[in-house]
Amino acid sequence: MPTVEQNHVAELTIHSECARDADGHSYCAYVRPPGSRRARKVPAFWAGPWTWKVRYASPIVGHHKVGIGSSDEWERIPQGEHDIEVVPYTGDNPLYRHGPVAVSRNRRHFVHADGTPFFWLGDTWWMGLCHRMGWPDDFQTLAADRLAKGFSVIQIVAGLYPDMPPFDGRGANEAGFPWEPDYARIRPEYFDLADRRLEYLIEAGLLPCLVGAWGYFIPWMGVDKLKQHWSYLLARYAAYPIVWCIAGEANLPWYLAPGFPYDDREQVHGWSEVARHVRETDPFQRPRSIHPTGLGRLSARGAIDYPGLIDFDMLQTGHGHRDSLAPTIDTLQWSYRQKPTMPVLNSEVAYEELIPQNTAAVQRLYFWTSLLSGACGHTYGANGIWQCNRRDSPHGPSPHGGDYGHIPWDEAMHLPGSTQLGLAKRLLEQYPWERFEPHPEWASFAAADIVDRPYAAGIADTVRVVYLPSRQPVTLHGLAGEWRADRFDPVTGARTVLGPARGGVAIQPPEDADPDWVLLLEAE
């Protein structure tokens, strides 16, 4: 009988007379936690010839009763108990200590299973399971860097990648591709190696946001095959602390499709069917979203037929330097007002060095304006990392013929924007940030527009955070009583006292401030 700590995965092996994974054939486990009369149905995944596996995890300490079943009456069902003993966790990994991530009760941010707030600071490794991000040295080096800087989420695709045709050698891992040619069958060998990377992230305390496939795979594979693909991902990974992204750029067709780019509603309908399948099949109900393209509403709400199929809203609002800020804030504020209420964050915007103008200052701009406009977190991206460029093997040309550049991942890792966003997250975590609400009326410039204006959020009578994109005098509004003003340098993380603050009196920017700076107001 396996013994595991709370929220760790116990793996059960089933030896079968079925040599290969065949459509319509599957095993599952029925697991009854201690003190419960109801059993949870947990699907098994095909692990190779004559072998199926079940993965299960729970925060409940005690003896979990397990029975094994088969969907095929003719198959001789392995009998006997495979019970699991769950014991207390004694470490400090937040994904185990506090449990997997879920949506908060007020549906504005993320929390761990025990209610501890979870701050989403994501990094984008779309192709991080391919061979160009070497294992173990490359992958573990990048993970250690991101963990040290304060990142908490890694966005990563399950082998069906963007920016390349299917079965392109650049997207293989050391065992090849996730599917056989013509999508005849899933290849467990691929996922055996993917396991090592995903498990490493989790053991380091980094939450994987696993993207099932890029959107344009749906006309190639069809809805049924992608449901099969997702059934496999659910059986293999749902027991882990993880969140799901149903598809990347779900409403964008293949790059060489006639009329490209356009908002592909047929793809949206197909991915909505897949999302419904995931919602109905996931035994652990991990949070779900879908990643849109920069067309239409720029929001996951616009890339799905029914918003109830997702739990949080992902945005993609463009890579156009400061030009993308107006649609970013417009879309974020629109989503914040929509029903059903759900956490909203930008999952792709203005990757650092994707174009020369996308500097670290642009990363700060999008982080602070988003967080102070109601976002539950933010996702960063660096050119060179998302596509896993190596010095000796860059990603190279896109299907449309362009090339995003050859900056290698280990150079892109040190771009300053990633450090500066980590400093910003650590500052906000000093406050009850999960209770912050956006209040643009709290501060003003004499002359302002949607880009160059103050952004403010906080708790009205306790703490207020104001981001100033430029070095203009800022006037504060609605302050009653005594308040203290501090300056936070978003580049260095330094904090200095400015002194008392009063409503209606303009505060001058510090002479040594960068063009952007942060004003912290605390009630005395």
**pLDDT of 299 strictly over 80:** yes
Binning pLDDT at 50, 70 and 90, where does residue 362 land?
A: very high
20 confidence band (pLDDT: 50, 70, 90)? low
**Which pLDDT score is estimated for 423?**
98
> Is a pLDDT exceeding 90 seen at residue 238?
yes
Question: 475 has which bridge partners?
Answer: 444, 506
- Determine the pLDDT at residue 484: 95
Closest CA to 202 of 100, 133, 134, 116: 100
pLDDT band at residue 367 using 50, 70 and 90 as cut-offs = very high
**In this predicted structure, what is the pLDDT of residue 25?**
63
Is the confidence at residue 500, as pLDDT, over 50? yes
Residue-wise pLDDT for 177-215, tens only, equals 999 999 999 999 999 999 999 999 999 999 999 999 999
Pairing of strands 455-459, 110-112: unpaired
Does the pLDDT value for residue 71 go beyond 70? Answer: no
pLDDT at 123: 98
Mean pLDDT within 125-147: 98
Q: Are 53 and 13 in contact (CB under 8 A)?
A: yes
Reply yes or no on whether the pLDDT at 315 is more than 90: yes
Tokens 């070095």 belong to residue = 471
CATH code for 118-432? 3.20.20.80
Three-state SS string across 57-116, please? Answer: CCCCCEEEEEEEEECCCCCCCCCCCCCEEEECCCCCCHHHHCCCEEECCCCCCEEECCCC
At 451 the pLDDT is: 76
Mean pLDDT across 278-295 = 95
Tokens of 296: 């239409």
> Residue 511: is its pLDDT beyond 90?
no
CA separation for the pair 155, 324 (Å, rounded): 21
| Mean pLDDT in residue range 116-120 | 98
**pLDDT of res. 81:** 64
CA dist 161 → 128, 217, 417 (Å): 10, 9, 25
Domain 3-87 CATH (choose: 2.60.40.10, 2.60.120.590, 2.30.30.140, 3.40.640.10): 2.60.40.10
22, pLDDT greater than 70: no
Average per-residue pLDDT in the chain? Answer: 93
Can you give the pLDDT at residue 69?
A: 82
**Can you tell me which residue has the tokens 């040619």?**
181
| pLDDT value at 76 more than 50 | no
C-beta separation of 202 from 240 below 8 A: yes
Reported in sequence order, the residue ranges of 306-423 that DSSP labels E, i.e. its strands, are: 313-316, 344-348, 377-380
pLDDT at 439 over 80: yes
Please report which residue ranges of 206-351 form alpha helices under DSSP H.
Answer: 217-221, 223-237, 265-281, 325-337
The topology (CATH level 3) of 439-523 is Immunoglobulin-like (2.60.40)
Confidence of residue 296 (pLDDT cuts 50, 70, 90): confident
| Measured CA angle at 154 (ends 152, 160), to 5 deg | 165
320-344 tens-digit pLDDT: 889 999 999 999 999 999 999 999 9
pLDDT of residue 77: 43
Q: Check whether 107 has a pLDDT greater than 50.
A: yes
Say if residue 49's pLDDT is above 90: no
Supply the pLDDT for residue 297: 79
What are the sequence ranges of the domains in the chain? Answer: 3-87, 118-432, 439-523
Please provide the size of the chain in residues: 524
Long-range Cβ contacts of 266-271 (<8 Å, 24+ apart): 266/219, 267/215, 267/216, 267/218, 267/219, 268/303, 268/304, 268/305, 269/305, 270/218, 270/219, 270/223, 270/226, 271/215, 271/218, 271/246, 271/247, 271/303, 271/304
Same fold, 3-87 and 118-432: no
pLDDT exceeds cutoff 70 at 222: yes
In the structure encoding, which two tokens stand for residue 26, read together?
């599957």
Question: What average pLDDT does the segment 404-411 reach?
Answer: 96
Going by pLDDT thresholds of 50, 70 and 90, the confidence category of residue 502 is confident
pLDDT value at 17 more than 80: no
Note the pLDDT of residue 283: 96
DSSP code, position 13: E
